[in-house]
Amino acid sequence: MRIEPDTPESKTTGPETGAPEGVRLAIPLARWADRQLEALARDHGLPRLDGATLLGERAANGGFRIGGRVSAGLGGSRLLPTRDGKWFALTLIRDIDRELLPALFGTTDLAVHDDAAIAATTLEHECAELLERGRALGLPVASADESPVSAPVEVIERGEHRAPPRGHRPLVVDLSAIWAGPLAGHLLWQAGMEVVKVESRTRPDLIRRDDPSTFDLMNQGKANLLVDFASHEEKARLVDLIRRADIVIESSRPRALRHLGIDADTLVREVPGLVWLSVTGHGARGEAAGWTGIGNDCGVAGGLSRALARASGRMGYVGDAIADPLTGIVAARSALRALREGHAVRIGLAMSAIANMALAEETGFDPAALEIELRTWGLAVGRPFPPVSRRSLTAAVRPLGADTDRYLSESAPC
């Protein structure tokens, strides 16, 4: 049985060939990110950061190469052809993801650690079937031909207005992990805010272990709290801290957030001026709020892989988990705008829809340049990611749990 269809999209060139001669390799949508960062600097006084750097510094730190239909880095996400000629993105980065594969494919004899066997089994199914079943199971999956079901940025709940006192330094409680949410918190720290990163005693942020260089860049200058979410007392003290905050960032699905003892909508209604950012894969309302998504598959769901195939004739991933940094930038802009207006608000951010929005806006801004970037990217499989200027740390990275007592003790300020 053939695992890959014999189409132009399935053919590759050698590691250092295929890109048009004399054309500079660039991460598609880096110019879009750069315009957003320019607006952050202009409107909110942030240092002027570079779009290509924020989209590419994780890849530069890790020495990533462009992987085509395998995501950059550890290759945790793969684009696989299905029986009906479509492309299915399957991300397997947690132990539970592989444990769920027999349920996804309706079989009991799949070798769940054999990528070739997984690809062959995918080819026996239709894409829509796998997409529906995968999302019901909580797997991070996508189709290259789907359309986002949510708005990129959506107001979920509103509360009362609060005018912050003169000279007040906003407090940000960052409950998120990995990249999109922590990048938003990093940009808010760049804007001069006090940012507190909260991690679980049993499940600290995985990127701390797996990619310490990127973790340090995203979390420098933030206080660090360690919370036992099995402790009612510690969860109650965390909620008290949230009630003192100006901005909250979280990236949990609704059921997980409730398990933490946190009711975002109620808090927004009860705390005047509180800005709450819910970073999601596919939306914060309805069925999509329960879907799992990470940067690579959300980029596929946002249409980036299909745009790549149209431009280059080859299906593949665009950038490195690109929906994550795009969303982090949009989240920071949304938070700063809402904080300036002063009304309590919960804002849902859908990574797949933000990737789709960025693609549409960049297509409208300079379609010829984007076409060249996509074509060059698609033909550069095996080449290193474009080099970017590496940022240096400008503040300390606090040890895990170093500031827990300061913020969560009974004597913490009310």
Q: pLDDT tens for residues 355-379?
A: 999 999 999 999 999 999 999 999 9
Show contacts of 258-261: CB within 8 Å, 24+ apart. 259/229, 260/229, 260/235, 261/229, 261/232, 261/235, 261/236
Instruction: Give one DSSP letter per residue of 9-64, joined into a string.
Output: GG----TT--SPTTPPP--TTHHHHHHHHHHHHHHH------HHHHHHHHHHHHT-
Specify burial of residue 160 (Cβ count, 10 A radius: 0-12, 13-18, 19+): middle
By percentage, how much of the chain surpasses pLDDT 90? 85
- On the question of pLDDT at 4 being above 50, the answer is no
Task: Reply yes or no on whether the pLDDT at 180 is more than 70.
Answer: yes
Q: For position 193, what pLDDT does the model report?
A: 97
- Half-sphere exposure (Cβ direction) of 8: Cα atoms closer than 13 Å: 9
Residue scoring higher pLDDT (390 or 146) = 146
Look at residue 6 in the predicted model and tell me its pLDDT. Answer: 33
What pLDDT is stored for residue 210 in this prediction?
Answer: 87
The answer on pLDDT for 214 being more than 60 is yes
Structure tokens at 160: 């009362």
Q: How confident is the model at residue 12 (pLDDT cuts 50, 70, 90)?
A: very low
Out of 20-24, 84-88, 366-370, least confident range: 20-24
Type of residue at 105: F
166: Cα separation from own chain's centroid: 34
The reported pTM is 0.93
Kindly indicate the confidence band of residue 206, based on its pLDDT and cuts at 50, 70 and 90.
Answer: confident
Domains recognised in the chain with CATH numbers:
13-409 (3.40.50.10540)
If you ran DSSP here, which 8-state letter would residue 270 be given? H
- The angle, 0 to 180 degrees and rounded to 10, between the axes of the packed helices 30-44 and 51-62 is 120
Q: Give me the percent of the chain exceeding a pLDDT of 70.
A: 93
d(CA 59, CA 77): 15
Do residues 373 and 366 make contact, with C-beta atoms less than 8 angstroms apart? Answer: no
pLDDT attached to residue 385: 97
- Band (pLDDT 50/70/90 cuts) for residue 21 is low
Between residues 9 and 314, the one the model is more confident about: 314
Comparing 256-265, 275-284, 303-312, 358-367, which segment has the lowest mean pLDDT?
Answer: 256-265
The 3-state DSSP class for residue 266 equals helix
Q: At residue 256, does pLDDT exceed 90?
A: no
Query: Average of pLDDT values for 65-77?
Result: 95
- Rounded to an integer, what distance in angstroms lies between the CA atom of residue 290 and that of residue 139? 10
Task: Note the pLDDT tens digit of each residue in 216-253.
Answer: 999 999 999 999 998 999 999 999 999 999 999 999 88
Which residue in 190, 215, 216 sits closest to 332, CA to CA?
Answer: 190
What local confidence, expressed as pLDDT, does residue 402 receive? 97
Q: In the predicted model, is pLDDT for residue 288 greater than 50?
A: yes
Tens-place pLDDT, residues 377-413: 999 999 999 999 889 999 999 999 999 999 998 545 5
Whole-angstrom distance, CA of residue 220 vs CA of residue 334: 22
- The SS3 of residue 388 is coil
Q: How far apart are CA 367 and CA 177, in angstroms?
A: 34
Residue 411: what pLDDT?
A: 46
**Region of poorest pLDDT, from 6-10, 39-43, 210-214, 331-335:** 6-10
- What region does 375 belong to: left with phi over 0, alpha with psi -120 to 50, or beta? alpha
Kindly state the helix (H) or strand (E) to which residue 80 belongs, with its residue range. Answer: strand 77-81
What residue spans of 221-366 are helical by DSSP H? 232-244, 254-259, 264-270, 295-301, 304-312, 323-341, 351-365
d(CA 171, CA 151): 27
Round to whole Å and give the CA distance between 383 and 17: 8
User: How much is the average pLDDT of 3-8?
Assistant: 35
Concatenated DSSP letters of 98-146:
HHTHHHHHT-S---TT-HHHHHHHHTTS-HHHHHHHHHHHT--EEETT-
Check whether 23 has a pLDDT greater than 80.
no
Torsion of CA 130, 131, 132, 134, to 10 degrees: 70
What phi and psi values does residue 220 have, to the nearest 5 degrees?
-60, 145
Is residue 19 over pLDDT 90? no
Collapse the DSSP code of 389 into the 3-class scheme (helix H, G, I; strand E, B; otherwise coil) and give the result.
coil
Q: How confident is the model at residue 11 (pLDDT cuts 50, 70, 90)?
A: very low
